[in-house]
C-alpha cells in the first residue's frame, strides 16, 4: 500500500484552496441569479463538495492516478446570466438535463474517440496556454501585494532545492503569516458551522432545457472536460475517458436536486496534483488526488463556512500561490509541446490562441486553441501527403 506523505496532503489542500478561493464567488452569483435562498446557496456548495470529493477519491483510487474532478467554472459563469428569470425548480431541471447529456456521451464512448486524435504535443500546448495565465498572474499580483509576493518569489527561487516537495506548503504558510502580520487577513466574514443539503424538486420546462441546458453541457464538455483530459495526457496518464465522463454525469444526476449543477475533470487544480510538488514519483501522485478529495468532502460538509474561510485571504496572494504551484507543470508542458518538430507550429498556434483567452460562442479559448492546432496538423499532413504523391507521380513518369 502506498504510504501517505505530507506533500500529498499539502498539495491536495492547496489545490482545493486555489479552486475555492478563485471561483467560489462565481458559484455564489450563479445561485443568487436563480433566486436561491441562503440555505439553498449553502446546499449548492454542499452538493458540489460532496460530489467532487466522492468522484475524486473513487477515480483516483481505482485508476491509481491523480484523476481530479471539479465544478464547471465556465458553466457557472454562463449560469449567472442564463438563469435569470428561471425558478430554482427550473434551474435544477436544467442541471439534470445537462448531466443526462454528459452521461449519454460518456456511455456512447464518443469522447474517447475524440481524445485519441489529439497528439501529446498539442495537448501539452493547450495546457501550457491555460497555465500561462496563472504564471503571468504571479507577477501582476505584485502590483497589489508587493511585500508578500516578493517574499514568496524569493523563497521559491532560493529555497527550491532545499525544501523539495515542501516548497509550496512552506510558501503558503509564510504568506499566511505575513497576511496576519500586515493585517491583510480579513476574518470579519468568516463563519463556522455545518451545512445541511436542501432538496429542490425539478420543474421541467422545454424552453429552459434547450436554451440553458444544452449550452451548459457544451461549455462543460469543451471548456472543462477537454482541457481536463489534456492535463492527464500531457502528464503521461492514460485513463478510460468514457467511464470517467459517465461517472461525473451520473454524479450530476444524483446531486443536481441539491444544487450540483455540473461535475467534470479539473484542469488547473488537476495539474497541481500531477506535478512534482505532489510527489517525485508520478506513480504515487494519486495520493494527492485522494487527499484533495477528502478536503473536498470537508468543504462540502462545511459549505459556506469553507468558502468564507478561503475568501479571507487576499486575491493577489491566491493568484501568486497558484502561479508558483503550476510553475513546474508549465515548464514541462512548454518543453513537451515544442520537442517534436513535426508538431511545433501547430503547438505554437494552440498555445498562443489558448493563452489569448479569446471566448467565442460562450466557449473558452482552450477549445478553440485545440481546434486550430488540430486543423494546422491536418493541413500539414495533407501537404506532406500531396507533395509525396506528386513526387511519386513524377518519378513514375
What 8-state DSSP symbol labels residue 211? I
Residue 50: HSE in the Cβ half-sphere, 13 Å Cα cutoff: 21
With cut-offs at 50, 70 and 90, classify the pLDDT of residue 370.
Answer: confident
Nearest residue to 287 (alpha-carbon basis) of 137, 63, 26:
63
Residue 71 main-chain phi, psi, to 5 deg: -80, 165
- Domain hosting 26: range is 6-340
Q: Which residues pair with 69 in a beta bridge?
A: 265
Reply yes or no on whether the pLDDT at 397 is more than 70: no
Helix 120-140 vs helix 226-234: angle between axes, to the nearest 10 degrees? Answer: 100
Residue 356 lies in a domain: no
Cα–chain-centroid distance for residue 334? 19
**Alpha carbons 69 and 187: distance in angstroms, whole number:** 29
Residues, the chain = 397
With cut-offs at 50, 70 and 90, classify the pLDDT of residue 291.
Answer: very high
Average pLDDT over residues 251-255: 96
Give the three-state DSSP class for 1.
Answer: coil
Place of cell 525544501: 163
**Alpha carbons 121 and 143: distance in angstroms, whole number:** 34
Average pLDDT over residues 284-296: 95
With cut-offs at 50, 70 and 90, classify the pLDDT of residue 264.
Answer: very high
Residue 165 lies in a domain: yes
SS3 content of the chain, % helix, strand, coil (to 5): 75, 0, 20
**Alpha carbons 318 and 176: distance in angstroms, whole number:** 10
> What per-residue string of b and e applies to 237-250 under the rule 16 or more CB within 10 Å gives b?
bebebbebbbbbbb
Q: Are 329 and 86 in contact (CB under 8 A)?
A: no
DSSP letters, 22-78, are: HHHHHHHHHHHHTT--HHHHHHHHHHHHHHHHHHHHHHHHHHTS---EEE-HHHHHH
Residue 219 lies in a domain: yes
Cα–chain-centroid distance for residue 325? 14
**Alpha carbons 355 and 368: distance in angstroms, whole number:** 11
Residue 354 lies in a domain: no
- What mean pLDDT is reported for the chain? 87
**Alpha carbons 7 and 312: distance in angstroms, whole number:** 24
Residue 364 lies in a domain: no
Q: How many C-beta atoms surround the C-beta of residue 219 within 10 A?
A: 26
With cut-offs at 50, 70 and 90, classify the pLDDT of residue 100.
Answer: very high
Residue 397 lies in a domain: no
pLDDT of residue 390: 59
Reply yes or no on whether the pLDDT at 249 is more than 80: yes
Q: Are 270 and 230 in contact (CB under 8 A)?
A: no
**Alpha carbons 224 and 59: distance in angstroms, whole number:** 17
Residue 386 lies in a domain: no
State the Cα angle at 42 between 36 and 45, rounded to 5°: 110
**Alpha carbons 264 and 1: distance in angstroms, whole number:** 28
Name every residue whose Cβ is closer than 8 Å to that of residue 327 and which is 6 or more positions away in sequence.
135, 138, 156
Nearest residue to 123 (alpha-carbon basis) of 276, 268, 229:
229
Residue 246 lies in a domain: yes
pLDDT of residue 1: 63
**Alpha carbons 317 and 144: distance in angstroms, whole number:** 9
pLDDT of residue 129: 87
With cut-offs at 50, 70 and 90, classify the pLDDT of residue 29.
Answer: confident
Helix 120-140 vs helix 365-396: angle between axes, to the nearest 10 degrees? Answer: 140
Residue 104 Cα distances to 255, 265, 354, angstroms? 17, 16, 28
Reply yes or no on whether the pLDDT at 108 is more than 60: yes
Tell me how many domains the chain contains: 1
Amino acid at each position: 500500500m502506498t504510504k501517505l506523505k505530507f506533500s500529498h496532503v499539502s498539495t491536495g489542500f492547496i489545490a482545493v484552496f486555489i479552486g475555492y478561493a478563485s471561483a467560489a464567488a462565481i458559484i455564489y452569483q450563479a445561485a443568487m441569479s436563480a433566486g436561491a435562498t441562503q440555505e439553498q446557496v449553502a446546499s449548492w456548495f454542499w452538493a458540489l463538495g460532496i460530489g467532487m470529493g466522492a468522484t475524486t477519491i473513487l477515480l483516483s483510487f481505482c485508476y491509481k492516478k491523480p484523476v481530479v474532478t471539479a465544478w464547471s467554472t465556465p458553466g457557472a459563469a454562463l449560469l449567472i446570466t442564463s438563469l435569470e428569470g428561471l425558478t430554482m425548480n427550473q434551474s435544477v431541471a436544467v442541471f439534470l438535463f445537462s448531466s443526462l447529456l454528459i452521461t449519454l456521451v460518456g456511455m456512447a464512448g464518443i469522447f474517447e474517440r475524440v481524445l485519441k486524435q489529439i497528439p501529446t504535443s498539442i495537448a501539452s500546448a493547450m495546457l501550457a496556454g491555460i497555465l500561462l495565465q496563472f504564471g503571468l498572474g504571479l507577477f501582476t499580483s505584485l502590483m497589489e501585494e508587493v511585500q508578500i509576493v516578493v517574499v514568496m518569489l524569493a523563497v521559491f527561487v532560493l529555497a527550491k532545492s532545499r525544501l523539495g516537495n515542501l516548497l509550496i506548503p512552506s510558501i503558503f504558510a509564510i504568506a499566511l503569516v505575513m497576511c496576519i502580520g500586515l493585517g491583510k487577513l480579513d476574518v470579519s466574514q468568516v463563519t463556522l458551522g455545518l451545512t445541511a443539503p436542501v432538496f429542490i424538486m425539478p420543474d421541467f420546462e422545454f424552453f429552459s432545457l434547450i436554451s440553458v441546458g444544452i449550452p451548459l453541457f457544451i461549455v462543460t464538455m469543451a471548456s472543462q472536460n477537454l482541457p481536463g483530459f489534456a492535463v492527464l495526457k500531457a502528464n503521461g496518464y492514460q485513463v478510460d475517458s468514457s467511464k470517467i465522463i459517465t461517472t461525473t454525469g451520473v454524479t450530476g444526476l444524483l446531486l443536481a436536486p441539491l444544487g450540483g449543477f455540473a461535475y467534470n475533470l479539473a484542469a488547473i487544480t488537476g495539474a497541481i496534483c500531477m506535478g512534482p510538488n505532489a510527489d517525485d514519483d508520478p506513480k504515487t501522485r494519486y495520493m494527492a488526488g485522494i487527499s484533495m478529495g477528502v478536503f473536498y468532502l470537508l468543504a462540502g460538509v462545511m459549505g459556506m463556512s469553507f468558502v468564507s474561510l478561503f475568501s479571507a485571504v487576499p486575491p493577489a496572494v491566491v493568484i501568486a500561490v497558484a502561479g508558483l504551484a503550476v510553475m513546474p507543470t508549465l515548464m514541462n508542458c512548454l518543453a513537451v509541446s515544442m520537442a517534436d518538430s513535426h508538431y511545433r507550429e501547430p503547438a505554437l498556434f494552440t498555445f498562443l490562441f489558448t493563452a489569448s483567452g479569446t471566448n467565442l460562442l460562450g466557449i473558452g479559448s482552450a477549445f478553440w486553441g485545440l481546434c486550430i492546432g488540430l486543423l494546422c496538423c491536418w493541413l500539414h499532413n495533407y501537404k506532406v501527403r500531396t507533395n509525396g504523391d506528386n513526387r511519386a507521380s513524377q518519378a513514375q513518369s
